[in-house]
């Protein structure tokens, strides 16, 4: 099996596992139809995959190969053992994705696209895939820029992408973990309870817990919230501009960035 195929199988495995777990150990009550949301989020994912394929091909991984062959990037000058390079690349890319996430909240133009992700009225494994295709293309471009600057090994990028995808499924899933396990995991990684706070309708809570893989960036850089104001099952999810499933059809999600300019979640003071 090619590494890309392995990645896909692992991805599908985690997706199905979370989907099954959600029906047994559900954490948060739902307000919208799961079937409808699943269909919409997966349709959006299909469009995202097509968009990336059309515009970039194999994108970040191809960029890593190209940078390697042409001797571009920092790591092509450093002669580090591969496993150290892989760990360094994963940690550095994770920090960059954390910063990117803050930027898409801070800059109103980017928020117009990111709001599609936050508009989900419930949160489950499929929410981890719910992004506007233009946001996906934008973050692909950002990652490719990083890859050109870093020149990491192809393997490091494949592993990072795999972890990022897998963790997005885990951290969005609607599953309950034993409190102790959640606390222990949270020292290092983002758990579903931690990320659910980021999807709260409360502005203060939306603008916290930006991490995707490692929870350390939020802790170190002061954007960490341990508990929401409400108990976990009572947290109201989504954004206040869109409260009905009619507003959240596939078509409306695709058009959302061009219609609504919901700036009021921006971190910029004075935009309230
Ligand atoms: Zn966000
Ligand atoms: Zn999210």
Report pLDDT digits (tens) over 225-245.
999 999 999 999 999 999 999
> What is the distance in A from the centroid of ligand 2 to the CA of 113?
13
Q: What's the 218 CA to ligand 2 centre distance in angstroms?
A: 14
pLDDT at 3 over 50: yes
CA distance 66 to 39: 36
| H/E run at residue 16 | helix 3-24
For tokens 């994705």, what's the residue?
97
Burial of residue 22 (CB within 10 Å: 0-12, 13-18, 19+) is: buried
Local confidence band at 200 (pLDDT 50, 70, 90 cut-offs): very high
- Going from the Cα of 240 to the center of ligand 1, the distance in angstroms, rounded, reads 14
Q: Return the ligand number nearest the Cα of 212.
A: 2
- Ligand 2 centre to CA of 207 (Å) is 12
For the residues 205-215, what does the mean pLDDT come to? 95
Q: What is the pTM of this model?
A: 0.87
Cα(57) to ligand 1 centroid in Å equals 26
| Structure-token pair, residue 37 | 């949301």
**Residues with Cβ within 8 Å of residue 139, at least 6 apart in sequence:** 97, 100
10 CA to middle of ligand 1, Å? 25
State how far the Cα of 216 lies from the Cα of 185, in Å rounded to an integer.
Answer: 11
Task: Tell me, in angstroms, the distance from the centre of ligand 1 to residue 209's CA.
Answer: 9
pLDDT above 70: residue 142: yes
The pair of structure tokens assigned to 58 is: 């194999």
Mean pLDDT of 50-62: 69
Q: How far is the CA of 53 from the centre of ligand 2 (A)?
A: 23
Residues in CB range of 65: below 8 A, 6 or more apart: 154
**Taking 50 as the threshold, does the pLDDT of residue 61 lie above it?**
yes
């Amino acid at each position: 099996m090619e590494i890309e195929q392995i990645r896909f199988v692992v991805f599908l495995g985690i997706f199905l596992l979370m989907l099954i777990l959600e029906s047994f150990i559900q954490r948060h009550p739902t307000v919208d139809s799961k079937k409808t949301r699943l269909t919409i989020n997966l349709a959006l994912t299909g469009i995202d995959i097509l968009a990336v394929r059309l515009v970039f091909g194999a994108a970040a991984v191809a960029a890593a190969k190209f940078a390697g062959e042409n001797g571009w990037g920092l790591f092509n000058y450093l002669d580090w053992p591969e496993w150290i390079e892989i760990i360094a690349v994963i940690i550095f890319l994770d920090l960059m994705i954390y910063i990117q996430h803050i930027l898409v909240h801070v800059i109103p133009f980017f928020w117009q696209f990111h709001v599609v992700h936050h508009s989900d009225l419930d949160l489950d494994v499929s929410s981890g895939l719910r992004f506007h295709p233009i946001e996906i293309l934008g973050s692909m471009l950002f990652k490719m820029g990083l890859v050109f600057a870093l020149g990491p090994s192809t393997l490091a990028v494949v592993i990072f992408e795999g972890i990022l995808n897998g963790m997005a499924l885990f951290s969005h899933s609607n599953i309950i973990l034993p409190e102790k396990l959640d606390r222990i995991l949270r020292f290092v990684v983002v758990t579903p309870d931690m990320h659910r706070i980021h999807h709260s309708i409360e502005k203060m809570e939306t603008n916290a817990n930006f991490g995707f893989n490692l929870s350390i960036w939020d802790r170190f850089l002061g954007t960490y919230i341990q508990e929401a104001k409400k108990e976990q099952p009572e947290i109201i999810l989504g954004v206040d501009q869109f409260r009905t499933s009619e507003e959240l059809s596939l078509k409306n999600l695709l058009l959302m960035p061009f219609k609504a300019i919901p700036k009021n979640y921006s971190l910029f003071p004075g935009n309230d």
